[in-house]
Chain A
Amino acid sequence: MKPPPACRLDQVSLSLGDRTILQSISLEVGRGEQVAILGPSGAGKTTLLRMLSAGLPPSQGGVRVLDQNPWQLKRNGLRRLRSKIGFVHQDHALVPNLRVWQNVAVGRLGRPGNLGHIRRLTLASPSELRDLHEVLEQVGIADLLFQRTADLSGGEQQRVAIARSLYQQPALLLADEPVASVDPARAQQVMDLLLDLADSRDIPLVISMHDLELARRNMSRLIGLRNGRVLFDSTPGEVSESTIKELYALASQENEAP
């Protein structure tokens, strides 16, 4: 029997105030799939990721994440579901005044036990520190364990954010433009880290990005989003240059229109 998809959107629309952000989107992300969401700024990529992370309910349509219906869960159920979804943010979203190990350890905050978390984040046990060190080693910054996060470079902070997701042990990994502000060489490194993380755990990876070449090289499926609608959803080989040009050119014409 075919396993259920990791996430599924069925005719999903979202309006905030008078603005329509997403319109009639239907898609499925299977276990182990690596998906890139492409599209110009304002196309709805981040919103789509937030919906997949059970962070935003739709105005219309159905959402199912990790075989659960997020918006029918009670508070604790929703927290448990979210604790299984890793999210790497574009601006890293780390707490600058915490140490690196603490920022990684917050990855497990969604698990039950508030007091235990607070204890763990103030006084980690030697075995917890060993685990955290190992995770940081996997992203190549093990020696920064006790550094203040605010003192790290942008690239190092990004690795901390990825390490946090690694430590979280998610069942679904989402990343919002993780390579938007890095040079091409570093962009590939970041992609490698994310893909390794997804591969090693056989979890689906959904990344929003602008770099078509990077997406083609690394991802198994590309979804083009424009004005909140899916323009294409196919394998890298099937997406032609003209389709991509259409995706961005049409959007820029629409943006320029008064």
Chain B
Amino acid sequence: MKPEPRNQRIKELHSQRPRSFGLRLGGILMAGLVFYSLISPSLHLQTLFALERRSNLHRFLTQDLLPQSVQRDGSGLTGWLAWAWSVLQERALLASAQTLGLALVAIVIAAGTAALLATLAAREDFPQKPSRPTESRGDAASDAGPSLTPAGARKRAAPGPGEGGQHALIGRGLRLGFGLTRSLPEYLLAFLLVALLPHTAWPAVLALALHNGGILGRLFTETLENVPAGPSTSLRSIGAGAASTTLLARWPEAFTRALSLTFYRFETCVRDATVLGMVGIGSIGYLVVEARARQDVPEQFLLVLCGATIVLISDLLSRIVRRRLRVA
């Protein structure tokens, strides 16, 4: 083909390419919304860079962040460090450990329950069922003779892999349950549970466990369903039951990914646990609320730093473990 006709053909093919009108419209609407938000009074960019912001920031860094004792004796950084250490020793370290423990217990409960329920919820591959020619239905028995299988006898036959209405119903119910629990924000769940349970860390633990259990349940189910079907089909073909097939052919393949997903959710759990204290449960978040009530900005700032440090450490550990799991 000569260059000119080829160019013409390319243009034609380009104009005939599949296009999504919905996607384009969605993009235009989204761009319009972003633009509108930026020019609206509450989000106007000018408000972010106004002159008084600079003076506010200066005051915050030079006065607000310094505890009164440091401001009084002018001891500077040494004084601030001594004050910070005393706050850490008295309250913050214990609260940080509690936050971490709370997240750990929650994720263990969430992952354990999710693994168990995902095993029941995961669908097996449904093999395509043979179709029966309508004209021959019921006649096959006589064709085949009394000693052989009539096609109609399939009604009495044991179900093949993946069949069985009861299992499908349980699976559907569990997947609905996963959807419900993960759609309820852990913060709201914690509020509800605080009213129901004794005033300990349990409301926070259970709120985190419920929410993350729903998420992990869904993810584990999908992971199990995405394991290549070959080994399970092979085990079923030699007579293995559904339970042993799932445990011995699917879970070994899904385990590393499931563990990696659990660590990923653990990071989120730690982050959420620092905030959950704000509903009145003993964690770093609770101390932040307390300091806010006393209008103690330096302590609030220190506690927020503590929370961020816990999150960063757990992120780092989780990343190391997940990297190793990917290699394994």
Residues on A close to B: CB < 8 A?
A: 8, 10-11, 13-18, 50, 53, 55-64, 69-87, 89, 91, 93-98, 102, 106-107, 109-111, 114, 117-118, 121, 168
Alpha-carbon distance between A14 and B239 when the two chains are bound, in angstroms: 22
Bound form: Cα–Cα A164–B136 in Å:
40
Across the interface, which residues of A come within 8 angstroms of B236, CB to CB?
55, 82
- The distance in angstroms between the C-alpha atoms of A61 and B236, with both chains bound, is 24
CA distance A97 to B257 in the complex (A): 12
Q: A57 near B238 (CB under 8 angstroms)?
A: no
Which B residue's beta carbon lies closest to that of A15? B131
Alpha-carbon gap, A109 to B242, bound state (A): 11
Say whether A106 contacts B154, CB under 8 Å: no
Q: How far is the CA of A79 from the CA of B242 in the complex (A)?
A: 11
Main secondary structure of the interface of A (DSSP, over half): mixed
| B229-270 CB contacts (< 8 Å) to partner A | 230-231, 233-241, 243-245, 247-249, 252-253, 255-256
**Which of A58, A78, A94, A107 has most B Cβ within 10 Å?**
A58
Q: Could you tell me if B238 and A86 are in contact, using CB atoms closer than 8 angstroms?
A: yes
Q: Please measure, in the bound complex, the distance between the C-alpha atom of A50 and the C-alpha atom of B238, giving whole angstroms.
A: 11
CB of B272 to closest CB in A, whole Å: 32
Distance of A154 from chain B, by nearest CB (Å): 14
Q: What's the least CB distance linking A20 to chain B, in Å?
A: 9
- Interchain CB contact under 8 A, A10 and B148: yes
CB distance from A14 to the nearest CB of B (A): 5
> Given A16-B130, A60-B136, A97-B256, are A70 and B149 also a contact pair (CB < 8 Å)?
yes
Chain B residues contacting A63 (CB-CB under 8 Å) are 148-149
Q: How far is the CB of B67 from chain A (nearest CB, A)?
A: 55
Q: Are B157 and A73 in contact (CB under 8 A)?
A: yes
The answer to whether A60 touches B132 (Cβ under 8 A) is: yes
Q: Give the distance in Å from the alpha carbon of A64 to the alpha carbon of B148 in the complex.
A: 6
User: Closest 5 CB pairs between A and B?
Assistant: A110-B239, A62-B148, A62-B144, A93-B234, A83-B239
Contacts of A77 in B (CB 8 A): 158
Residues A75 and B158 in contact in the complex (CB < 8 Å), given A61-B140, A93-B233: yes
CA gap between A94 and B241 in the complex, in Å: 17
Known contacts A98-B248, A121-B248; is A8 also within 8 Å of B130 by CB? Answer: no
Contact residues in A for B18 (Cβ distance below 8 Å): none
Q: Would A10 and B144 count as touching, CB distance under 8 A?
A: yes
Interface residues on B, range: 35 or more
Interface pair A106/B248, CB less than 8 Å apart: yes
Distance to closest chain B CB from A236 (angstroms): 28
A114 B159 Cβ-Cβ under 8 A: no
Residues from chain B with Cβ under 8 Å of A74 in the complex: 158
User: How far, in whole Å, are A70 and B249 apart by their CA atoms in the complex?
Assistant: 24
Cβ contact of A58, chosen from B149, B159, B244, B252, cutoff 8 A: B149
State which of B147, B159, B235 has its C-beta within 8 Å of the C-beta of A75: B159
Kindly state the separation between the CA atoms of A127 and B245 in the bound complex, as whole angstroms.
24
Contacts A110-B239, A118-B244 given: A57-B151 contact, CB under 8 Å?
A: yes
Residue B127 lies at the interface, judged by CB distance under 8 Å to chain A: yes
Q: Does B143 contact A61, Cβ atoms closer than 8 Å?
A: yes
- CB contacts (< 8 Å) of A86 on chain B: these are 238
Q: Are A71 and B154 touching (Cβ within 8 A)?
A: yes
Judged by a CB distance under 8 angstroms, whether B153 is at the interface is yes
Verify A8–B148 contact, CB threshold 8 A.
yes
Give the residues in chain B near A117, CB-CB below 8 Å: 244, 248
Contacts known (A16-B131, A106-B248, A114-B244); A72 close to B237, Cβ less than 8 A: no
Most A C-beta atoms less than 10 A away, residue of B144, B153, B235: B144
Q: Can you name 24 A-B residue pairings with CB atoms under 8 Å?
A: A11-B144, A17-B128, A56-B127, A57-B151, A60-B133, A60-B136, A61-B144, A61-B149, A62-B145, A63-B149, A64-B147, A69-B149, A73-B157, A75-B159, A76-B158, A84-B239, A95-B252, A97-B253, A97-B256, A109-B241, A109-B244, A110-B238, A111-B239, A118-B248
CB distance from A57 to the nearest CB of B (A): 5
**A75 (CB) vs chain B CBs: closest residue:** B158
Shortest beta-carbon distance from A148 to chain B in Å: 10
Task: Say whether B173 faces chain A, with CB atoms less than 8 Å apart.
Answer: no
Distance between Cα atoms of A36 and B291 in the complex (Å): 81
